[in-house]
Amino acid sequence: MRMRTRRARIHAGTLLAAALLFACSRGETEVRSAWRGTLLSEPVEKPDFTLADTDGKPFRFREATAGQLTLLFFGYTNCPDICPLHMASLATVRRGLPFAMKNRIRVVFVTTDPARDTPQVMRVWLDQFDPDFVGLRGDSAYVARLQNSLGMASAILGPRGADGRYSVGHAAQVLAFTPDGRAHLQYPFGTRQEDWAHDLPKLLEATW
Rule CB under 8 A: which residues touch another protein? 80-81, 84-85, 88-89, 92-93, 96, 189-190, 192-194, 197
Which ranges constitute the DSSP H helices of the chain? 2-34, 61-64, 82-95, 99-102, 119-127, 140-149, 193-205
Cβ count near 162 (within 10 Å): 5
Closest approach of another protein to the CB of residue 147, in Å: 23
CA pair distance 23, 42, nearest whole angstrom: 24
Nearer to another protein, 51 or 91 (CB): 91
Nearer to another protein, 93 or 185 (CB): 93
Closest approach of another protein to the CB of residue 5, in Å: 50
Residue 82: DSSP 8-state = H
Closest approach of another protein to the CB of residue 60, in Å: 32
Closest approach of another protein to the CB of residue 28, in Å: 26
Nearer to another protein, 92 or 118 (CB): 92
Sort 88 into a burial class: Cβ within 10 Å, 0-12 / 13-18 / 19+.
Answer: middle
Nearer to another protein, 37 or 59 (CB): 37
Report yes or no: 160 and 116 within 8 Å, Cβ to Cβ: no
